[in-house]
């Protein structure tokens, strides 16, 4: 199963590379004119276009670029002339840390609330969790980020409003800069997780094996852990894996709100500058992350339910 999933992931990455390369070609404007400047002559623009290989057919450009990708070379930035891979690696830590922290917030809040709501169906707790989950799904991350900044950085200066500090500067300082962006990004995902977890737990409670376990005297935490959570976990893990793409997309806006120089700002600047190699490298990097997480989710199925390994 792992080999099949891995092969499917590689096929997806190849298709993503084709689509990304073709879509980048449709971005309006000429990057050679941007690099040359406003007062550049036609000859100077043509020279820069030739140096960048933009005067070659699209297929030839793709083959040249993808050959480099297979060797670990994503090309160089059109403006800084630095390797794309090195630039992405340097910009990745804040984005990766905020995304992981957001996933932790989502799992802790969403799964816990969903389990409680599912176990107390029809109660005021269930209705409150369902209402808050619906509200959380409807709230954009950037709006929630601005609300959190207003409450915890401006009205009450407890946490910094902008910037990112490396963990080597001190754990407390680092955590204070991560809490707000991670929370604003993770709450929407926690709302989605809470809704799905609640539905899965409520569904499992109606299954015959749960009624049989209760008839045999199983109850309390043992019943929840052994019979309910294990069987309700697979759909929840699936939703968490699917939310990875949403987190990677949302972190771009969140980084802009908090003034964090990560992959989000790198992507925005690359689009504004028409920095084709950087755009392609960023999209391919994001695709690799999503495919890797989906592969981890598939492997988690076998750990949660060994019967899935033979499927």
Query: Tell me: the pLDDT tens digits for 27-78?
Result: 666 667 667 666 777 777 777 777 667 777 778 888 888 888 888 888 888 7
Residue 84 CB burial class (10 angstroms; 0-12, 13-18, ≥19) = buried
Give domain status of residue 16, yes or no: no
Give domain status of residue 90, yes or no: yes
Give domain status of residue 64, yes or no: no
pLDDT at residue 225, as a whole number: 67
Taking every pair of Cα atoms in the chain, the longest distance, rounded to a whole number of angstroms, is 86
DSSP code at position 27 = S
Give domain status of residue 5, yes or no: no
Joined tokens for residue 69: 């990708």
Low-confidence ranges of the chain (pLDDT < 50): 310-311
Q: How many domains does the chain have?
A: 1
pLDDT per residue over 71-87, tens digit each? 888 888 877 778 888 88
Phi, psi at 76, each rounded to 5°:
-115, 150
CATH of the domain at 127: 1.10.3720.10
User: In Å, how far are 1, 107, 285 from 87, measured between CA atoms?
Assistant: 35, 31, 12
**What is the span of the domain harbouring residue 217?**
84-310
Give domain status of residue 256, yes or no: yes
Q: What is the DSSP string of 208-261?
A: HHHHHHHHTT--HHHHIIIIIIHHHHHHHHHHHHHHHHHHHHHHHHHHHHHT--
List Cβ neighbours of 12 (8 Å cut-off, separation of 6 or more): 287, 291
pLDDT at residue 189, as a whole number: 84
CA 66 – CA 229 distance, rounded (Å)? 44
Give domain status of residue 118, yes or no: yes
pLDDT at residue 1, as a whole number: 61
Give domain status of residue 29, yes or no: no
Give domain status of residue 100, yes or no: yes
Query: What's the CA angle centered on 33, arms 31 and 34, to 5 degrees?
Result: 65
Cβ atoms of residues 191 and 114 within 8 Å: no
pLDDT at residue 310, as a whole number: 47
């Amino acid at each position: 199963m792992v080999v099949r999933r891995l092969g499917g992931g590689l096929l997806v990455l190849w298709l993503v590379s084709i689509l990304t390369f073709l879509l980048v070609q449709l971005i309006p404007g000429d990057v050679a004119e941007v690099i040359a400047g406003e007062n550049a002559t036609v000859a100077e623009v043509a020279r820069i276009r030739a140096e960048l290989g933009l005067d070659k057919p699209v297929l030839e450009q793709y083959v040249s670029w993808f050959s480099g990708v297979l060797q670990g070379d994503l090309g160089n930035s059109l403006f800084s002339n630095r390797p794309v891979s090195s630039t992405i690696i340097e910009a990745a830590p804040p984005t990766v840390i905020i995304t992981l922290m957001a996933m932790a917030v989502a799992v802790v809040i969403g799964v816990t609330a969903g389990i409680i709501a599912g176990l107390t169906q029809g109660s005021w707790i269930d209705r409150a969790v369902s209402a808050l989950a619906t509200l959380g799904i409807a709230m954009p991350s950037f709006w929630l980020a601005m609300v959190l900044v207003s409450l915890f950085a401006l009205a009450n200066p407890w946490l910094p409003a902008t910037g990112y500090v490396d963990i080597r500067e001190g754990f407390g300082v680092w955590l204070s800069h991560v809490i707000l962006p991670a929370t604003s990004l993770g709450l929407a995902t926690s709302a989605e997780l809470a809704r799905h977890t609640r539905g899965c737990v409520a569904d499992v409670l109606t299954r015959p094996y749960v009624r049989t376990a209760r008839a045999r005297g199983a109850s309390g935490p043992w019943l929840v852990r052994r019979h309910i959570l294990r069987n309700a976990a697979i759909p929840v893990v699936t939703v968490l894996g699917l939310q990875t793409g949403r987190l990677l997309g949302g972190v771009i806006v969140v980084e802009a709100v908090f003034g964090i120089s990560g992959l989000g700002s790198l992507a925005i600047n690359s689009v504004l500058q028409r920095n084709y190699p950087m755009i392609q490298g960023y999209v391919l990097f994001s695709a690799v992350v999503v495919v890797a997480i989906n592969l981890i989710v598939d492997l988690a199925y076998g750990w949660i339910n060994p019967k899935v390994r033979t499927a």
